Structure 1
Amino acid sequence: MADFITVARPYAKAAFDFAVEHNRIEAWQKMLTLVSHISQDEQIKSVLTSDMKPDSIAQLFINVCREQLDEYQANFIKVMAENKRLILLPDVLMLFVQFVLAKQAVADVDVISATPLTDAQLDKIAAGVEQRLSRKVRLKCHIDKSIMSGFIIRSGDMVIDSSIRGRLNRLSDALQS
């Protein structure tokens, strides 16, 4: 998975830089979402991993998308097809969205709790994480009863685990050391 991200990053960065330069971020994100969904279709996946010529695969994508691609986006698809990278389109989309969020100075933050949190609790969490990350945050809340109580906050490499399960695991590790 990490290897795919590494290979997808230059394509996502090139698409993002082009979209920013031409003030077409939303159009490129929409296009990448479309072609990403197309690339995940089982029949298309089998074509992407076949011995079919890259030009034919690119033309297949362009034909499926019809009027929804401009010439630059079609060229982007052709370049990815020539390099046999169309299978990476979901990763390219994910990285593109991360670049957009970074440009907007917005961080996605996952909040996992055992029970639903109140609006006041979410506001307090958002304020604390915004201060820590020095950017606006967008909370995505999930319920996971296995953490027993408390919550876990994840954003990129940052993890704040104040769950009972996390505390018990840390205590167990300390006792075993």
Structure 2
Amino acid sequence: MAELHTIARPYAQAAFALAREGNALPSWGAALQLAVAVVTDVKVAATLDNPRLTADDKAALVLSICGDKLGAEQRNFLRVLIDADRVALLPQIRTQFLELKDEAEGVAKARIESAFPMTDGQLAELAGVLEKRFGRRIETTVVVDPALIGGARITVGDTVVDGTVQAQLQAMARDLRA
């Protein structure tokens, strides 16, 4: 998986550079989303895997399905991926593109795992605290997990703040075994 991530990186960076240069980050995000939906469709993916099809045939198929929803640069980008036999990397390319976009726009994603549902007020207060701590606008995703017993686990990028009762009990058990 890390290898695919590494191979996808230069393509994502190229797409991001083109999008930023053309002041078209939203349209590139939408174009990549469309392209991912097309190439991950079961029937399209099976057709693209057919070794008898040429790159021209594959490009014609994908671009015809996308229709006029893609600009010239976006069509060329897809053509490059198809010619290089890298179209299967589109999901990873899109993910990395969105990460670059968020970074450029000063946005960080926070995953909040809580033992109980949070009110809108609690979520807004927590997002405000996280924005101050990370110096970025925070977009939150909340997951309710009763196994946490109480508290919350917050993940922003590579940073994890685990204030769950489950984590405290695990730490206590570890200390008692030592």
Quickly name the TM-score band, shorter chain normalised.
over 0.9
Offset from partner CA, 1:96-126 (integer Å, 9 cap, x none) = 1111111110101011111111233223321
Shift of residue 132, structure 1, vs aligned partner: 2.2
Please show how residues 96-107 of structure 1 align to structure 2 within 5 Å.
96-107=97-108
| Matched letter for residue 90 of structure 1 | P
Aligned residues: 177
Query: Which residue number corresponds to residue 138 of structure 1?
Result: 139
Query: Does 2:24 match 1:36?
Result: no
Question: Are the counterparts in 2 of residues 110 and 155 from structure 1 also a CA contact under 8 Å?
Answer: yes
Code of the aligned partner of 1:4 = L
Find the counterpart in structure 1 of residue 90 from structure 2.
Answer: 89
SS class of match (1:116): coil
CA distance in 1, matches of 2:49, 2:173: 46
How do 1:1-177 and structure 2 match up within 5 A? 1-51=1-51, 52-177=53-178
Give runs of ≥4 in structure 1 deviating > 4 Å. Answer: none
8 Å contact kept, 1:48–1:87: no
Q: Deviations over 1:126-157 (max 9, x none)?
A: 12222221111111111111111111101111
Q: Which runs of 5+ in 2 are unaligned?
A: none
Deviations 1:61-109 (A, max 9, x none): 1111111122211110111011111111111111111111111101010
Gaps of 5+ in 1: none
- CA distance in 2: counterparts of 1:47 and 1:112, whole angstroms: 40
Whichever residue aligns with residue 89 of structure 2, its letter is L
